Structure 1
């Protein structure tokens, strides 16, 4: 069959239009996948999720993707520039507007606090870190590194493990008063990036320490599975709370505590605070304690229904494996995609 010249031109135009539409559809799919593959702090509600929920107003495009506050990792030495910390580098500039009244604040108290992330992709994780603004910080100027205490008040090292889609950090928030900003940083293990969320908080009640801070925290009697901690007495204290890796692990009415059930060859971080009927002190300086023996990392159990990418680590039948590339349903120890770890 012979097609006339006008019809040939028509078919060519239709092919070009169809190809363009297909390309646009593919690009849209890629962008949607890219925009959804992240996470945000849901509780206490971050500045970004409060924008999405309508508690914060005039926020710009962040209302459509609060999970996308991504920038190079390594803060404070790297990461988003001063003045662009809240927006993770400036892609959502409205978030960088800063004054004492610009953003809705979440009421918070000093002491144990859970920070819950909602993840749309459970990336292999290097760490979770949490920073807070200094006393006397300038509430009416853009956030800079000088606004924050640059030592995190809470750190969780994950060594490349894959978190669940709802992940909670158990932290101890330092004693503050009034309005402060918490910077939550989720560092990804197998990329150069991290996710940055700021949380506007207002300290209410129980924010002023009523006791001195414990000092002289030391460890002795360290074995494969236990360690004994001791510290100097605090005047007026009736008891002490002992925290391991920012989680409460016990209390004591004396100035010592033996922590058992530990893993061999593993490093733990301990802090202590004094308590009485009126309140609690600030946490002591942290002490790192490494148990004797050698350790074998424990990774999440392999699941045949989970997608893994290169660098993801799993355990299966008592052994640890690392994925060489993308895989789904291929059994560790059988499929070549899995590398046996020492």
Structure 2
């Protein structure tokens, strides 16, 4: 009886299996559609802010680091579109880090005024109404969130609903009546949806035959003190017409510190290990120097003590630095330069 009952019901679970298969298919379709829908376009050249995030030139970009295609908001800028203060992110909360705005927050592209080419890479080449380019006005404040009243239109291309190729380039005359740090906003209005794509480019604009003056490259990088787990760096101060704001210290190619003075203590290191450092200077307009030549220093091995090199009258020392002088070892109690051990109270004899 049991065998007969089994033979009479071989398709007992077919409805359940069919429903499961349909659910799985719909889920797969939704994933494919979501992936396609999230891919649209970005300004590849000159590199936009979000493209530099993707390339890890701009840091601490949040979700924008992983999706440079998706800065999509309502079209019709400036009458519509993202709210003031949210323009770089297209009003998208996951990409809100892009809205941060100071004179030094973002890496910049050097650009001359006059004819320039802007190139979009489209990962979904939607039918297009128009492309527009805006630039910040001469008196804009780079330390305030971007708002539409900061911008003025300087270039437009109308497509009238045509479907563009996957690479689109526009030649535009960038204004020549301003220089220094400016933002260029590119908008791409999709023809058959209510949306547009927004891309902000940070530029150092040069006009009247002049180029932005970069800070001088940090030099004379030394390490007076090493311990088991730290390396203390010192270097010659950079100069810049706009004044030096801070330095960027890179360990083995990764940014590890942004000190405002020409010294840095790198901590949390492995004992008996070599590390290579390069340093850039950043001025008050956000211009960055070229990277210094790489220098390599090594932490002490287990069981080693802190080195105590001979004191130098020209070397700057941080608190905790140890030196030898006239046969004795001294430790700096705070920052010092040119003060003689055994004479100045900044030095404690060990």
TM-score class, shorter: 0.5 to 0.7
Residues 1:118 and 2:125 aligned together: no
State the partner residue of 1:241: none
Which residue matches 1:135? 138
Summarize the Cα distance change of 1:124–1:15 in structure 2 as closer, same or farther, 3 Å threshold.
closer
Write the deviation string for residues 158-210 of structure 1: whole angstroms up to 9, x where unpaired: 212222111100100002211100000111222221111100101135367xx
Measured in 2, the distance between the counterparts of 1:42 and 1:162 equals: 19
Matches of 1:3 and 1:60, distance apart in 2: 58
TM-score by length of 2: 0.53
State the match for 2:201 in structure 1. 199
One of 63, 68, 83 as aligned partner of 2:85: 83
Task: Flag the 1:11–1:119 CA change in 2: closer, same or farther, 3 A.
Answer: same
1-structure distance, mates of 2:191, 2:5:
60
Cα–Cα, structure 1 residues 9 and 67, in superposed 2: closer, same or farther, change >3 Å?
A: same
1:94 to 74, 84, 97: 97
Q: Which protein has the larger Cα radius of gyration, Structure 1 or Structure 2?
A: 2
1:21 shift after superposition:
4.0
Partner SS for 2:64: helix
Contact 1:181 1:198 in 2 (8 A): yes
Shift of 1:75: 0.6
- How many residues get paired? 203
Task: Report the Cα offset of residue 27 of structure 1.
Answer: 1.9
Runs (5+) with no aligned partner, structure 1? 209-342
Does the C-alpha gap of structure 1 residues 207 and 183 become closer, same or farther in structure 2, counting only changes over 3 Å?
Answer: farther
Residue 192 of structure 2 corresponds to residue 172 of structure 1: no
Please tell me the root mean square deviation across aligned C-alpha atoms, in Å.
2.5
1:56 maps to what in 2? 58
CA 1:20–1:201: 2 relative to 1, 3 Å: same
Asked if 1 retains the 8 angstrom alpha-carbon contact of 2:71 and 2:92, the reply is no
Secondary structure of the corresponding residue to residue 185 of structure 2: strand
Show CA shifts across 1:31-77 (max 9, x none): 101012x1110000011111111111111222222111111111100
Q: Which residue of 2 aligns with 1:109?
A: 112
Q: Deviations over 1:94-114 (max 9, x none)?
A: 111111111110110100000
Q: Secondary structure at the match of 1:121?
A: coil
Q: Distance in 2 between matches of 1:3 and 1:65?
A: 54
TM alignment of 1:247-262, pairs within 5 A: none
**Separation (CA, whole Å) in 1 of partners of 2:145 and 2:88:** 9
Aligned equivalents of 1:156, 1:46: Cα separation in 2: 19
51, 68, 71: which one aligns with 2:70: 68
Q: Is the 8 A contact 1:82 1:145 kept in 2?
A: yes
**Structure 2 residue 154 is the aligned partner of structure 1 residue 153:** yes
For residues 304-315 of structure 1, the aligned pairs below 5 Å read: none
TM-score, normalised via structure 1 length: 0.54
Larger displacement relative to structure 2 (11-20 or 112-121): 11-20
How has the CA–CA distance of structure 1 residues 198 and 2 changed in structure 2, closer, same or farther, with 3 Å as cutoff?
Answer: farther
Deviation at 1:18, TM superposition (A): 5.4
Contact 1:110–1:207 (CA under 8 A) maintained in structure 2: no
